[in-house]
Amino acid sequence: MHPEDPTRIPAVVERLRAAWEAQPSVPFAQLWAQLESVGVGFNATDAELVEACDELLRRHPYSFSPVLSEVPTVSSSDAPSASPAPRTVVVETADPGPVVTLSVEPGEPLGWAVVRGRRAGVQPVVWRFRAVRACRAGAPLVVEDAEGFVHRLGVVERLTAAGFSVAPRENAAALEGLRRAELGDRVFVVRFADDSWALVGHALWWFQVGRRAVDARRLKWVGFESGMPGAPLLVRTPGAGLEELPLVAEVFRAI
């Protein structure tokens, strides 16, 4: 890319457009601050700017359209991609829509979806999907589950590529011996053997389905003494207390 070649301009502008369209709710000034954080300064070359845009697209891809089984998905080709599609994305939808984590495993016909509300105390749901019908910035998120039902989950504000797997076989030991101080920004969802659920972040929410409503109980925790599938979730609470929750069936990672 020669610095004085005027034909370079459309390609550079196109890359900048792609990076911005992947985060349409972000003002341009904030987008530029993101570019500065990956090395774009006053003396940056056009090639360095393009590489920085590619880095933003690796972090926040424009779309997510994994191929699962033989079900076709709609590919979004109107904005270029900087790298191969990630295996997991965290999808932020416009408020008051949910935060949705979509994850696929190589060679498997079904992916995993974790749907979490934005408000505290809202029970998360986890299900398998067989197709992502639409998932791109600025458009509705449409996912077809394993039973063929189509879920419309709000308008996508931003996708964030993630390097983890949602699948329970990858997270079986995630809570065993975990201390809250070690959690970082991770969030886990637990399905118990009695079909109650827990959301584990910096607070722990335990959800039990009653006849008329879902009972949501908030627990403060400092660590887990046990949390493997088949064992109870033993929660160490502040003040050296210990609370026993039901037998763990599966552990999923949401963030």
Residue 237: what are its φ and ψ, rounded to 5°? -105, 165
pLDDT at 6: 84
Confidence of residue 186 (pLDDT cuts 50, 70, 90): very high
**Amino acid making up residue 195:** D
Cα R_g (the chain), whole angstroms: 21
Check: pTM over 0.85? Answer yes or no.
yes
DSSP category for residue 182: G
pLDDT at 192: 98
What is the separation, in whole angstroms, between the first and last Cα of the chain? 38
Interval 130-143 mean pLDDT = 97
pLDDT one-digit tens code per residue, 60-113: 999 999 977 655 444 444 555 555 667 999 999 998 899 999 999 988 999 999
Interval 116-127 mean pLDDT = 94
pLDDT at 73: 44
Sign of CA pseudo-dihedral 121, 125, 126, 132: negative
pLDDT at 81: 54
